[in-house]
Amino acid sequence: MQDIKREYLTSKEAAEILKVTPATVMNMIRRGQLRGKKVGTGGVSSPWRIPKEDITEYVESVEERSSVKVST
């Protein structure tokens, strides 16, 4: 069986790619726009990780929606 390696980003790294704040990334996770996973045992202050592939998919979907032309 092949090893599957999944890359994860911090909320800060995801925010830099999306050009938003880390708080916005957390809101996107809460709204279900991105998947996130809490890591560590720090309770409320535990850091979150976001799959890099989710960021890629989100950016592609936004670009696709913005490129749709509306005919009038």
Structural domain range at position 51: 8-64
| Domain assignment present for 33 | yes
| pLDDT tens column, 20-60 | 999 999 999 999 999 998 887 766 667 889 999 999 999 99
| Domain assignment present for 69 | no
| Domain assignment present for 49 | yes
| Domain assignment present for 31 | yes
| Domain assignment present for 42 | yes
| Domain assignment present for 3 | no
Is residue 71 scored above 70 in pLDDT? no
Single pTM value for the model:
0.74
Tell which residue, 46, 41, 53, has the closest CA to residue 14: 53
How many domains does the chain fold into?
A: 1
Higher-confidence residue of 9 and 72: namely 9
| Domain assignment present for 38 | yes
DSSP-derived letter for residue 50 is: E
